[in-house]
Structure formats: C-alpha cells, structure tokens
Amino acid sequence: MSLDKVTEVLKKNPKGLSITQIVKLTGLSKTEISKTITEMQSKGIIEKIVKGCRVTYKLKS
C-alpha cells in the first residue's frame, strides 16, 4: 500500500521529491517512507539524485 502511494506521488512529480516532501504528500510516517524508498531502490523502481546536500528520489524512466 505505501509502495502504491509513493509511486503515485512520484508519478505526479517527475523531477523528484525529498523524503520530507513524500511524507507530506502521502501522509505516511517518515519511517515507513524510508523503508519503502529502500525497497523501491533495491527493486530498481526509483533512483536517488544527490545535488550538494539535497537528496531527491524519482521514478526510473
């Protein structure tokens, strides 16, 4: 379920979102988002983008 919610908000924001932004948009806890992000990365669904100290995640195209 959290996987679906995270996927949905990332589809709507193709440039990527931070974990804090994903928490606000999904209403899920930061812990749950972190676990979901880790799971999605291991499955190759999303990619992590690091620009300076800013980290965002976006769906792989």
DSSP per residue, 1-61: -HHHHHHHHHHH-TT-B-HHHHHHHH---HHHHHHHHHHHHHTTSEEEEEETTEEEEEE--
pTM listed for this prediction? 0.92
- Check whether 1 has a pLDDT greater than 90: no
Across the chain, mean pLDDT equals 96
Sorted by where each begins, the domain ranges of the chain are 2-59
* 42-46 CB contacts, 8 Å cutoff, 24+ apart: 45/7, 46/10
Mean pLDDT of 25-38: 96
Confidence of residue 25 (pLDDT cuts 50, 70, 90): very high
Identify the pLDDT of residue 27: 96
Q: Does the domain made of 2-59 have the CATH classification 1.10.10.10? A: yes
Residue 40 CB neighbour total at 10 angstroms: 20
Mean pLDDT of 27-46: 96
- Check whether 12 has a pLDDT greater than 90: yes
